[in-house]
Amino acid sequence: MIEIKAIHKAFGKNEVLKGVDVKVNKGEVVVILGPSGSGKTTLLRCINFLEKADDGELTIGETNIKFKHAAKKDILKVRRQTAMVFQTYNLFNNKTALENVMEGLITARNVPRNEAEKLSLKMLDKVGLSDKYNAYPNQLSGGQQQRVGIARALALNPEVILFDEPTSALDPELVGEVLTVMKNVAKEGMTMIVVTHEMSFANEIASRVIFMDGGVVVEEGTPHEIFNHPKEERTKLFLRRIVPDWNYVI
Amino acid sequence: MSSMFSWDFAIGHFPELLKVVPVTLLIAVVSMLLGLVFGLLIALCRIYRVPVLNKLAALYVSFIRGTPMLVQLYVFLYGVPALLEALNNKWGWNLSSDNISPLIFALTAYTINSAAYQSEVVRAALNAIDMSQMEAAYSVGMTTTQSIIRIILPQALVVALPNLANIFIGLIKATSLAFAVKVIDIMAVAKIVSAEGYRFMEMYLGAAIIYWVICFALERLFAVMEKKLRRYESKMV
């Protein structure tokens, strides 16, 4: 269970998060939608303290932390309960695919090497890349790199996986393969918070959709509620503009 | 015939030059390695803006880069005994620099020198690594230290390698000044032998050849190292 209460974050004079509350239950897939600058990526990055929020509190599982003056060891604790999949994949360039997946286990979680290797190979298999275990990131396509990134996150068995626009940097052909992997991850019961523009993915997989704009949550509900019966004007405006891949079910 | 080049002399005394090659190599290798360790520490102080140390490091690097090696050696040679005397007078110690071998003087001076240059190279290399690598390391739960050692440093060292190779080759040649602190290295032997035999060109040509062979070998070595370490990088061409 992940809960964020009253999170505030400003970059200089620019207030990006103006008091947001989010609650994610175990096994839920929460998709966050919104225009650029709405704060959705900042929100995600505040969860694992890649950005330091100014105010508010975070609860993950048993751990509760106030964002203001968060202690180093608490930050480390949260980072070891979460995993992130980045828009730019961010694989460790000096390590092979297998080593990428193993790295967090060995270094941050003190898993013995051969155990980590076995687990990592299993994860690479899960994302369909067992034959590429020895390849370096620069030898992999974008979609393959992202799938390794997902395998890396899965191997850590976190409380929640944070997806920061995982398919935004991929060309359309490769988007599908990554979304398929993400759907499988969701089906296996992993708690996921996904920031994305892929509407049909959200519609298919999300337990809940949150629409953010201007640093606040404008509306939230099930995919059906948000996509078919949006209540707020801003939500309607946003959806009207970004529905190229929408499938209408009559 | 006698005032032109004497092959006999040159070849006859060449082994004497070869005998002190280990001294040259020792100074260069030790100074380089120690300089790398200190250079890394200094670079980290600069990057993380450690209070006090940051400014001190900047000052020290500026001084080393702003003064000729020969001047630094002389400052060391005459400065250390003076410093020890001052300390002896102030605190009643009985330190003497007479027992310190010239080699130690040289090693210290060259280490201090190379550390300054290497710190700049390492600093640039660390900054060249994309922040996203650090973020990925953080996201899997690594501490800053772990991230730097496991992810950033290996990549930074590859970026730094051409520059470090340059510094090392420069260091080999800079050791030619070590005779200023009374170390018997290649140049010292060349000077001594040529002065005794009144044959200068022969010895200095020999010295030049030795330096060139060493540097050439190092060039090749570093080229191979670079090729091997760059295997995971995307190629520009």
Q: How far is A137 from A154, CA to CA, in rounded Å?
A: 18
Q: Which of A82, A93, A193 would you mutate first to test chain B, the one with the most B CBs within 10 A?
A: A93
> How far is Cα B79 from Cα B72, in angstroms, rounded to an integer?
10
Domain boundaries, chain B: 1-20+190-231, 21-183
Q: Using CB atoms within 10 A of its CB, is residue A188 exposed (0-12), middle (13-18) or buried (19+)?
A: exposed
Distance of CA B70 to the CA centre of its chain: 14
Per-residue confidence (pLDDT) for residue A249, from 0 to 100: 57
Per CB-CB distance under 8 Å, the chain A contacts of B132 are: 86, 88, 90
Overall fold of domain B21-183: MetI-like fold (1.10.3720)
Residue A24 and residue A3: Cα distance in Å, rounded?
6
Q: A25 and chain B: CB distance < 8 Å anywhere?
A: no
| Distance in angstroms (rounded) separating the CA atoms of residues B28 and B114 | 9
The model's pLDDT over A14-65, given as tens digits with 9 standing for 90+, comes to 999 999 999 999 999 999 999 888 999 999 999 999 999 999 999 998 889 9
In angstroms, what separates the C-alpha of A25 from chain B's closest C-alpha? Answer: 21
- B142 → closest Cβ in A93, A108, A136: A108
Whether the CB-CB separation of A166 and A85 falls below 8 Å is answered with yes
- A104 and B141 within 8 Å at the Cβ level: the answer is yes
Q: What is the pLDDT of residue A90?
A: 95
Please identify among residues 73-102 of chain A the ones whose CB lies closer than 8 Å to any CB of chain B: 76, 79-80, 82-84, 86, 88, 90-95
What value does the mean pLDDT of chain A take?
91
Residue A244 is predicted with a pLDDT of: 53
List the beta bridge partners of residue A3: A23, A59
Q: What is the pLDDT of residue A61?
A: 86
Query: Is residue B171 a contact partner of residue B114, using CB atoms and an 8 Å limit?
Result: yes
Q: How high is the pLDDT of residue B237?
A: 61
Please say if the pLDDT value at position A81 is more than 60. Answer: yes
Q: What span, in angstroms and rounded, lies between the C-alpha atoms of B94 and B87?
A: 9
Sign of CA dihedral B206, B211, B212, B217: positive
User: Cα(B24)–Cα(B94) distance, rounded to whole angstroms?
Assistant: 32
Sign of CA dihedral A5, A182, A166, A137: positive
pLDDT computed for residue B92 by the predictor? 78
Any B CB within 8 A of A108 CB:
yes
Q: Is B133 on the interface with A (CB under 8 A)?
A: yes
DSSP state of B92: -
A110 and chain B: CB distance < 8 Å anywhere?
A: no
Size of interface A-B (CB pairs under 8 A): 69
Residue of A nearest to B132 (CA): A90
pLDDT of B6 reads 85
Given this model, what pLDDT does residue A219 score? 93
- Residue B116 DSSP label: H
Q: Which of A107, A132, A150 to mutate to test the interface with B (most CBs of B within 10 A)?
A: A107
Query: What pLDDT, in 10s, does the model give residues A90-110?
Result: 999 999 999 999 999 999 989
| Range A140-147 average pLDDT | 94
What's residue A12's pLDDT?
Answer: 92
Which chain B residues touch A107 with a CB distance below 8 Å? 140, 142, 146, 150
Amino acid in position B205: L
Is the pLDDT at A245 greater than 90, yes or no?
A: no
Q: How far is CA B138 from the centre of its chain?
A: 34
- Quote the percentage of chain A above a pLDDT of 90: 80
Residue A116, pLDDT > 70, answer: yes
Q: Look at B233 and A84 and tell me if their CB atoms are within 8 Å.
A: no
What ipTM did this prediction achieve?
0.91
**Residue A68 · residue A97 · CB < 8 Å:** no
Residue B164 vs residues A127, B57, B114, B156, B172: alpha-carbon distances, Å = 40, 19, 10, 11, 12
Regions of chain B short of the pLDDT cut 70: 1-3, 234-237
* 3-state secondary structure labels for all residues of chain A: CEEEEEEEEEECCEEEEEEEEEEECCCCEEEEECCCCCCHHHHHHHHCCCCCCCEEEEEECCEEEECCCCCHHHHHHHHCCEEEECCCCCCCCCCCHHHHHHHHHHHHHCCCHHHHHHHHHHHHHHCCCHHHCCCCHHHCCHHHHHHHHHHHHHHCCCCEEEEECCCCCCCHHHHHHHHHHHHHHHHCCCCEEEECCCHHHHHHHCCEEEEEECCEEEEEECHHHHHHCCCCHHHHHHHHHCCCCCCCCC
Residue B56's Cβ-side half-sphere holds a number of Cα atoms within 13 Å equal to 7
What are the percentages of helix, strand and coil residues in chain B, rounded to 5?
Answer: 85, 0, 15
Write down the pLDDT at residue A100.
Answer: 96
> What is the pLDDT, as a whole number, of residue A130?
93
In angstroms, what separates the C-alpha of B48 from chain A's closest C-alpha?
Answer: 16
pLDDT at A57: 94
* pLDDT score at B8: 86
Beta-sheet pairing, A160-164 with A55-60: unpaired
- Sorted by sequence, the CB contacts under 8 Å of residue A151 that are 6+ apart come out as A97, A101, A120, A123, A124, A126, A127, A129
Chain A's closest residue to B130, CA to CA, is: A90
Name the residue facing B135 among A76, A90, A136 (closest C-beta). Answer: A90
Q: Cα separation of B22 and A193, whole Å?
A: 62
Q: Which amino acid is at A35?
A: P
Mean pLDDT of A210-232: 92
Q: What is the pLDDT of residues B73-127, one digit of tens each?
A: 999 888 888 888 888 888 877 777 777 888 998 999 999 999 999 999 999 999 9
CA distance B172 to B174: 6
Per-residue pLDDT tens for A157-196?
Answer: 999 999 999 999 888 888 988 999 999 999 999 999 999 9
